Each structure stands twice: as C-alpha cells, then as structure tokens.
C-alpha cells in the first residue's frame, strides 16, 4: 500500500523538512506489523513527492490475529496491500512530527497552508465513491477516484471495493495528515487492532478543529470506533463539550474585565504568577490556557526564561496571542524562545514534557468538573513540571462586586467558582495524589470576611525517593 504526498510550494523540497525525511535518501522503519519505507520519486524545487510504502508482514499478522474470523481469513485477506488502519499507524509513527504540526527546521511552513496532493492506492471504501466524497469534499478537497476492477482480465466480474484516490487542497500538512489518519480507517471500516478507550483520545486529538462540524461526524465517529456504542457516545459527548470551550465568548470576557477592572485584578494576578516563576528558578515555562498571551508577553521580557510554550484550545485566542507577541516580527533569537500550540488540557500531550514550570492562570474554572481529573493527570502526572502556579477566582468575594448579581458567576463560560475552602481541598488532594507540596496565596486586596478576589496555588514537586 502506498501513500504519496506532493507539493508544488516552492522550494518544493522543503517537504523533506516538513516530513523530517531527507529527499535524497530512502529510509526504512520497523513497525509492529511490517516495514515502512519513505522515498521521493520526485524532488525538484518545483515539485516534490514523498512516498510512504508499507510492507505488511503477513506471517506476523497471522500470529497477532490468531483465532479471529473465518479459518482462512488469516491467510486470505487484503491487509497486506489495502490502505487500512495500518497506514494510519504508519503515518503516526513515520510522519509523527508532521502529524502534530511540528517541524524543527520549517516551523512557519508547517503552520502555513500550501498546495498539497495525497494519492492513496488500494483504498478500500465501504459505501463506495459516494461515501468517499461525503467524507473528503466537505473538508475542502478536490477528489479524483478510480475504482479498480476485481480482475482486469474479467471485466464482467465488475469492480473491487478498492480505489485509487487523489485528494488536493491548499492546506497545512498537519491538517491533511490528520484527515487521512482519521478517515482511512473510517473508509476501511475494519480496524485491525482492538479499539479501546485510548482510541477516543486519538480520534478527538486528530479530529480537533474539523470533526465537530463535519456533516458526517456521527458516521465517522461510529466507524472509527468500530461501532462500539459506549465509546461512540463518549466521543460525541466530549467533542460537544470541547467545542463549547473552544469558542470563548468574547463579549462575556469583556464583562468579566469590566467587573474586575477597578482593581486591575488581572494585572496583579499576572505579576504574582510572574514573581513565583522567577523565584522558582524555572527556565522552561508552560503557559497552559495561555489565552491572548498576556502572561507570555511578560515572561518574554525576562531573560531568565529560555523556552516558553503557550497552549490553548481556542485558535482564535492563539491568533490574538501571536499578534500581541508580535511573533512575526521578533528577531530570530527571541522567536526561538517561544512557541504557541493548539491543544487541549484534557489530553495527555508529549509537547508539554520537559518543562520546569507551568502557569495555569484562570483556566480551571472553564473546565467541566467531571473532567478535572483528566486535566490533573495531564499537568501533574504527565507534564509533571517542578513548579505549577494556578489561579482561580475566589467565589466568596463575588458579593463585594456591585455589578455582579447575587449567585452569578463572573464569566458566562465559568463552570464553577470555588470558595477558599474548596480551592484548598482541591489543591490538597492534587498535591497528595501526585507528590507535590503546595501553598495558597490571595491575590488582590483582602477583605476580612470574604478574602481576596482571586486565589493562587503554588505546587512544588517533591523529590522522589
Ligand atoms: N491564561 C489566560 C487566559 C484565561 S481565559 C489569561 O490569564 O489571560 C481561559 C483560557 O483557557 C481561554 O483562553 C480558553 O480558551 C482556555 N481553555 C479552556 N478550556 C481549555 C482546555 N481544555 N485546554 C486548553 N485551554 C483551555
């Protein structure tokens, strides 16, 4: 099975940087089910094509799948040559950085839509060409499909379910690879491996930004998860919740800003966080839920911080952050210190590893309480920086705001606001479960009765025995 990717963006050989595969070399990779080879049939400045050829090891497959299906299925199946979910696995393993939108040498190009064409040979399409079109055309692809006859010598046998398909669009390479990663197994409708709950994570991660609004969303989810109803429902639920978060209500944001304006509370908060980060000695710092990049702008001014990564679920906020930080105009040495990435704090994300500290400023109250535990693991178990600084409103203080009707939260998108005791209980539970110590600090003027308007927790990782 073969996937070719072609670009005419000039110099087209930059495709090699985007895929992290040198155009002049043939490279081979061992995968659990066979071998993948990457080579370039064409590599000129005008046009460059990278080919990913998968060689499935049929003997290995028999061993892995022993006992399934009809007796001969182990020996007679289309897996060695059809573009099945093996190809998705190969994309993730061989083109992993490109699939995650990363490129060491050409980060800007990775973030830029360029002319791309992908050709898949022997793509099994359950539902035929109509399904193929329904899946790809709403995503903006021009599609050509040629159906292979069952046997070219015996036309009366009719067509096989296999197509050679070319998809063209002006798109980011990451977007194209994510679409292929999700939709190839959907077309095949016969995933080779056990579909477990981590498949929900993969689906949501690679479907981010497009799956929610796809007209055939439900079909995609159902087939990707191989008709496992409980998983399908879980995926749909989370997709819908996620999207609610992904569109912060700017109007409401302004209301919150007005409510808090008198105190210039946000500025005080950012300064408190900044001073904790400076004192911690951290050099590599995450800003999780970075929003429009107000904290990042402060951090960038401090030479102590050598590497900054801002993550947010909202693309709109990230665009605003890129603007605020003048990313396009920064001198290269400055530019290299900072990156902004799109992602969700609900999912374990390898990009968050290896940092000294993380700031999570006014974010947790935007997360649904039942999903807080996912967030806690992402930050405290997987990213696991030595210092975590987290702020959230103090609900008790709301009665001191004349503009805020009683019982109302400060922001329409807040899912909860905690009292000081609730925040303490949460912080204590997180610290004890994940091996951190913590302290709390009020932010803003303290009121004898209801405390300060905002509260901050500083977590420090305990030395491991
Ligand atoms: N930290 C920023 C923004 C706070 S507003 C500041 O202090 O100025 C809350 C931010 O959290 C928003 O930008 C929102 O998009 C982001 N957010 C909400 N849910 C998220 C999630 N699941 N993953 C990542 N970011 C999220």
Calculate how far, in angstroms, residue 420's C-alpha sits from the geometric centre of ligand 1. Answer: 21
For atom 7 of ligand 1, the residue with the nearest CA is 361
Q: Would the CB of 294 count as within 6 Å of ligand 1? A: yes
- Residue to substitute in 241, 291, 455 for testing ligand 1 pocket (most ligand atoms within 8 angstroms of CB): 291
- Give the residue, by CA position, lying nearest to ligand 1 atom 16: 289
**Nearest CA owner, ligand 1 atom 12:** 291
pLDDT at 284 over 90: yes
Distance 220 CA to ligand 1 centre (A): 28
Task: Calculate how far, in angstroms, residue 331's C-alpha sits from the geometric centre of ligand 1.
Answer: 27
Beta bridge pairs of residue 39:
51
Residue 32 has what pLDDT? 77
Angle, CA 228 vertex, CA 224 and CA 230 arms, to 5°: 120
Ligand 1 proximity of 208 Cβ (cutoff 6 Å): no
| Strand positions, DSSP E, 25-124 | 27-31, 34-43, 48-56, 114-124
State the Cα–Cα distance between residues 35 and 185, nearest whole angstrom: 19
Mutational test site, ligand 1, from 308, 366, 368, max ligand atoms within 8 Å of CB = 366
Helix (H), strand (E) at residue 457: strand 454-461
Closest residue CA from atom 11 of ligand 1: 289
| Nearest by Cα to 369 from 350, 346, 391 | 346
Q: How far is the CA of 131 from the centre of ligand 1 (A)?
A: 37
Tokens 């010598």, residue? 153
- More confident call, 330 vs 76: 330
Give, using CA atoms, the residue closest to atom 13 of ligand 1: 291
82 token code pair: 């059809």
> What does the block give as tokens for 443?
């932010």
What average pLDDT does the segment 368-377 reach?
A: 92
Is 80 exceeded by the pLDDT of residue 454? yes
**Terminal Cα distance for the chain, rounded:** 49
The C-alpha atoms of residue 185 and residue 389 are separated, in whole angstroms, by 41
Q: Is 363 in the pocket of ligand 1 (CB under 6 A)?
A: yes
For residues 392 and 420, the answer to whether their CB atoms sit within 8 Å is no
Q: Please, which pLDDT band fits residue 400 given cuts at 50, 70 and 90? A: confident
374 lines ligand 1 (CB under 6 A): no
Q: State whether the beta carbon of 293 lies less than 6 angstroms from ligand 1.
A: no
Determine contact, residues 458/438, Cβ cutoff 8 Å: yes
Q: Give 290 Cα–ligand 1 centroid separation in angstroms.
A: 6
pLDDT band, very low/low/confident/very high, at 194 (cuts 50, 70, 90): very low
Evaluate: CB of 273 within 6 angstroms of ligand 1: no
Q: Which atom of ligand 1 is nearest to the CA of 391?
A: 7
Inform me whether the pLDDT recorded for 248 exceeds 70. no
User: What pLDDT does 84 receive?
Assistant: 72
What's the maximum distance between 2 C-alpha atoms anywhere in the chain?
Answer: 89
Ligand 1 neighbourhood includes 132 CB (under 6 angstroms): no
CA atoms of 28 and 45, how far apart (whole Å): 24
Q: Is 281 exposed, middle or buried (0-12, 13-18, 19+ CB in 10 A)?
A: exposed
Which ligand 1 atom is at minimum distance from the Cα of 287?
1
Nearest to 440, CA basis, from 454, 448, 279, 450: 454
344 lines ligand 1 (CB under 6 A): yes
Residue 13: alpha-carbon gap to chain centroid: 27
Residue 262 scores a pLDDT above 50 = no
Is the CB of residue 365 below 6 angstroms from any atom belonging to ligand 1? no
* Dist. CA 40–CA 16, nearest whole Å: 9
Whether 346 lines ligand 1, by a CB cut-off of 6 Å, is yes
Residue 246, pLDDT > 60, answer no
Query: Average pLDDT in the 35-53 region?
Result: 96
Question: Does the beta carbon of 393 sit less than 6 angstroms from any atom of ligand 1?
Answer: no
- Rounded-to-integer distance, Cα 246 and Cα 351, Å: 20
Looking up tokens 């303490």 gives 424
* Predicted confidence band of residue 150 (pLDDT cuts 50, 70, 90): low
pLDDT reported for residue 61: 54
- Structure tokens that stand for 350 in this block: 């390898």
Mutate to test the pocket of ligand 1, among 204, 238, 312, 411 (most ligand atoms within 8 A of CB): 312
| Three-state DSSP class for residue 245 | helix
Q: Measured from the CA of 362, which atom of ligand 1 is nearest?
A: 4
> Sorting pLDDT into bands at 50, 70 and 90, what band is 254?
very low
Whole-number pLDDT of residue 55 = 86
Planar angle of CA 96, 198, 209, nearest 5 degrees: 60
Alpha carbons within 13 angstroms on the beta-carbon side of residue 417 total: 19
**pLDDT value at residue 258:** 46
User: Which atom from ligand 1 is nearest to the alpha carbon of 253?
Assistant: 5
Long-range contacts of 251-260 (CB under 8 A, 24+ apart): 252/411, 252/412, 252/413, 253/411, 255/411, 255/412, 256/410, 256/411, 258/403, 259/401, 259/403, 259/404, 259/410, 260/410, 260/453
Which mutation among 204, 244, 313 tests ligand 1's pocket best, with the greatest number of atoms within 8 A of CB?
313
Strand partners, 74: none
Q: Is 419 exposed, middle or buried (0-12, 13-18, 19+ CB in 10 A)?
A: middle
Nearest 10 degrees: CA dihedral of 225, 226, 228, 232? 30
Q: Are 464 and 436 in contact (CB under 8 A)?
A: no
Q: Given the CA of residue 314, which atom of ligand 1 is nearest to it?
A: 15
């Amino acid at each position: 099975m073969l996937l070719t990717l072609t670009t005419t963006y000039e110099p087209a050989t930059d495709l090699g940087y985007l895929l992290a595969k040198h155009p002049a070399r043939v490279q081979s990779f061992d995968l659990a089910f066979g071998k993948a080879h990457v080579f370039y049939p064409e590599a000129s400045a005008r046009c460059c094509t990278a080919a990913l050829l998968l060689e499935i090891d049929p003997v290995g497959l028999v061993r892995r799948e022993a006992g399934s299906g009809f007796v001969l299925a182990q020996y007679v199946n289309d897996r060695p040559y059809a573009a099945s979910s093996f190809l998705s696995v190969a994309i993730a393993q061989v083109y992993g950085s490109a699939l995650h939108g990363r490129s060491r040498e050409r980060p800007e190009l990775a973030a830029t839509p360029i002319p791309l064409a992908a050709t898949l040979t022997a793509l099994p399409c359950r539902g035929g060409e109509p399904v193929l079109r329904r899946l790809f055309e709403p995503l903006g692809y021009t599609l050509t499909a040629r159906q292979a006859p069952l046997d070219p010598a015996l036309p009366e046998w009719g067509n096989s379910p296999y197509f050679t398909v070319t998809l063209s669009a002006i798109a980011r390479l990451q977007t194209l690879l994510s679409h292929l990663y999700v939709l190839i197994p959907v077309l095949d409708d016969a995933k080779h491996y056990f579909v477990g709950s981590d498949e929900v994570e993969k689906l949501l991660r690679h479907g981010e930004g497009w799956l929610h609004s796809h007209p055939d969303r439900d079909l995609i989810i159902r087939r990707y998860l191989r008709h496992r109803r409980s998983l399908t429902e879980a995926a749909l639920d989370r997709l819908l919740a996620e999207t609610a978060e992904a569109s912060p209500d700017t109007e409401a944001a302004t209301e919150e800003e007005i409510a808090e304006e008198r105190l210039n509370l946000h500025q005080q908060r950012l300064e408190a966080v900044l001073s904790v980060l400076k004192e911690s000695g951290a050099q590599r710092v995450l800003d999780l839920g970075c929003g429009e990049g107000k904290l990042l702008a402060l951090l960038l001014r401090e030479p102590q911080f050598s590497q900054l990564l801002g993550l947010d679920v909202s693309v709109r906020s990230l665009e605003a952050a890129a603007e605020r930080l003048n990313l396009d105009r920064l001198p290269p040495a400055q530019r290299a210190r900072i990156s902004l990435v799109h992602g969700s704090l609900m999912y374990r994300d390898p990009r968050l590893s290896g940092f000294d500290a993380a700031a999570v400023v006014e974010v947790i109250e935007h997360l649904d309480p039942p999903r807080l535990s996912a967030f806690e693991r992402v930050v405290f178990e997987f990213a696991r920086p030595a210092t975590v600084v987290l702020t959230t409103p103090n609900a008790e203080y709301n009665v001191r705001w004349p503009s805020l009707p009683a019982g109302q939260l400060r922001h329409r998108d807040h899912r909860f606001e905690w009292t000081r005791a609730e925040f303490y209980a949460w912080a204590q539970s997180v610290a004890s479960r994940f091996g951190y110590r913590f302290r709390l600090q009020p932010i803003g003027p303290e009121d004898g009765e209801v405390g300060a308007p905002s509260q901050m927790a500083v977590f420090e990782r305990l030395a491991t025995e």
